[in-house]
Chain A
Amino acid sequence: MHEMTVAELSAALAAGRISSEELTRAFLERIERLDPGLNSFITVTAEGALEQARAADRRRARGEGGPLTGVPVAHKDIFCTLGVRTSCGSRMLDNFVAPYESAVTERLAGAGMVTLGKTNMDEFAMGSSSETSHYGPVRNPWNPDTVPGGSSGGSASALAARLAPAATGTDTGGSIRQPAALCGVCGLKPTYGRVSRYGMIAFASSLDQGGPMARSAEDLALLLQAMAGFDPRDSTSVEEPVPDYAGELDAGVEGLRIGLPREYFAEGLDAGVARAVEEAVAQFRRLGAEVREIGLPNTRLAVPAYYVIAPAECSSNLSRYDGVRFGHRCADPTDIDDLYKRSRGEGFGAEVKRRILVGTYALSAGYYDAYYRKAQQVRRLIRDDFRRAFGEVDLIVGPTSPSTAFRLGERLDDPVTMYLSDIYTIAVNLAGLPALSIPCGFVDGLPVGLHVIGDYFREGRLLAAAHRYQRETDWHRRAPAGFGG
């Protein structure tokens, strides 16, 4: 049953063919047996999961609950979970047992989902390989010598290995979509403000957005339905009504205008990845979509602008970790400055410190205009490129990542090369748009992700296009050797 999608598990639970307790035991057994080779979980909450599963079974027996009741889920360890350690992959929060529950985990638990545990990630979500975690690197089930992508690499790896049927992630510059692509699973970054950030540990607040990860577009729709909605506890949550995503799923792509940005099929794109994406585009054309070339002329400025804005916001957000109220505190501080400096020096890893320092520099006296202000001006140009494009087309399609999964350690000493892993995903965060990644082929046995970008609040259209594609193809059904049926 580990091969089944959320929709299939939901039907089996509703028909009484399986119980949530059986299902939960099966996934917990797989995690125990297979995860030591992947390191996709930081914490497994077996006891709590079985309690939730039994409660879900009782709920279903009473004829209550919804489609997700009794279905297991793994949460990225960036979502605060009451009474359960929430580490964010950092030594700083190794001892942090969250005193409250995040909106996302609360909503999914309310829908009856069973939490299997907390997944591994790049420290504070800063990375594209899931190698910077205090708890060690995550491995990609398609080839354990390669990275799963990041920062939601634990969630992506667990899904690909069939250790969980559903997961959550967060996406600041590609952290849901890039690992989904590298692990051959599906991931959706919703419109900025669509899903509440309450209780989601902040990295760059103007870019951070939580979203679902799963193995089909249909499953993403079921999960997003439960996650989305207004939350007064998040000051940037939007008061837009949540549409019926499952109801929109069969809308297809006939007559839709799909734009291919010429800048996305240029230098730096792996030839095999390009071929797989072009074949997917041909498939959309056969399904009745009209495909045309478009221009997003400021694309090459997105990564540079992002690496000013994200570090600036991170340096501000992470100033809360001062060793006073929670988190790591150094031993025997001599004075308050020593307490701050050593607690932070010891508690944060190398990449987090690099970004705090870049952000501090960019915001420091005399440099603000040259870096932060300039980056926010460039951000407007990038947003306006997309606005113009969505005047001409309904969807934008391209590769999620310029290459397939790279080898562990390969980019760790070269931050800028690592940053360029997110060249196609970052602009979407700067513009606040929704986008998803679905599997569309393989190069040398490693999965390729197809990136589909939509206009604001058009998650339904994105999911319908992905679902239509997945009815014609079976890339999303492929499992890595040793982890399938």
Chain B
Amino acid sequence: MALESGEVEKIAHLARIAIRAEDVSEYRRHLSRILEFVAQMNAVDTHGVDPIAHPLDAVQRLRPDEVTEVDQRERFQAIAPQVDAGLYLVPKVIE
């Protein structure tokens, strides 16, 4: 499974990761090698096999719908890159 350079750029965009132009060919080489490797799975017939969700077949636990979190906004915002008046700042999104 060899990827094209354009596919690498498309995946990088979907993952929101900037990749330098000079690195695209190395990513292409490594990703193609990994995809070729994982294709070994196709050697086994899995027709009719249910995909597994949890090795012990556990399901999500339910709990009462009660507020358990406490307000820690200040503590969380102390480590944020840019905040103002309790808000997280990012470049302008809406024109």
A420 and chain B: residue at smallest CB distance: B37
Contact status A307-B17, CB under 8 Å = no
Within the assembled complex, what's the spacing in Å between the Cα atoms of A307 and B38? 7
- What 1/0 mask marks residues of chain B from 65 to 95 whose CB sits below 8 Å from any chain A CB? 0000000100110111110000010111100
Q: Check B19 against A345 for contact (C-beta < 8 Å).
A: yes
B24 CB, min distance to chain A CBs, angstroms: 11
Task: Give the residues in chain B near A193, CB-CB below 8 Å.
Answer: 56, 58
Task: For A308, give its contact among B19, B38, B49, B52 (CB under 8 Å).
Answer: B38
Contact with A along B18-48 (1 / 0, CB 8 A): 1110000001001101110111111110100
Over the window 290-323 of chain A, the binary record of Cβ atoms lying under 8 Å from chain B Cβ atoms (1 yes, 0 no) is 0000000010110111011000000100010011
- Give the distance to chain B from A291, nearest Cβ to Cβ, in Å: 26
Q: Is the CB of A376 within 8 A of B93?
A: no
Q: Mark A175-206, 1 if CB is under 8 A from B, else 0.
A: 00000000000000000110000000000001
Q: Min CB distance, A228 to chain B, in Å?
A: 16
Whether B91 lies near A235 (C-beta < 8 A) is no
A-B pairs under 8 A by CB, number: 160
Number of interface residues of B (CB under 8 A): 52
CB neighbours of B90 from chain A (8 A): 324, 333, 336, 339
B62 to chain A, nearest CB (A): 10
Residues of chain B lying within 8 A (CB to CB) of residue A326: 76, 79-81
A32 contacts the other chain (CB 8 A): no
Q: Closest Cβ of chain B: how far from A110's Cβ, in Å?
A: 20
Bound together, the chains give a CA A378 to CA B50 distance in angstroms of: 9
User: How far apart are B46's CB and chain A's nearest CB, in angstroms?
Assistant: 4
Residues of B contacting A301 in the complex (Cβ-Cβ under 8 angstroms): 40-41, 43-44
Interface residues of B in 1-27 (CB under 8 A from A): 7-8, 11-20, 27
Q: List which A238-261 residues lie within 8 A (CB) of chain B.
A: 238
Residues of B within 8 A of A283 (CB): none
| Interface assignment of A373: CB less than 8 Å from any CB of chain B | yes
Give the residue of B7, B16, B58 whose beta carbon is less than 8 angstroms from that of A341: B16
For the complex, is A443 an interface residue (Cβ under 8 Å from B)? no
8 closest cross-chain pairs (CB), A and B: A432-B55, A345-B18, A376-B51, A329-B81, A377-B46, A341-B18, A380-B52, A340-B16
User: A residues engaging B (CB < 8 A)?
Assistant: 95-97, 99-100, 192-193, 206, 232, 235-236, 238, 298, 300-301, 303-305, 307-308, 315, 319, 322-327, 329, 333-342, 344-346, 348, 353-354, 356-358, 360-361, 364, 371, 373-381, 383, 415-416, 419, 430-433, 456
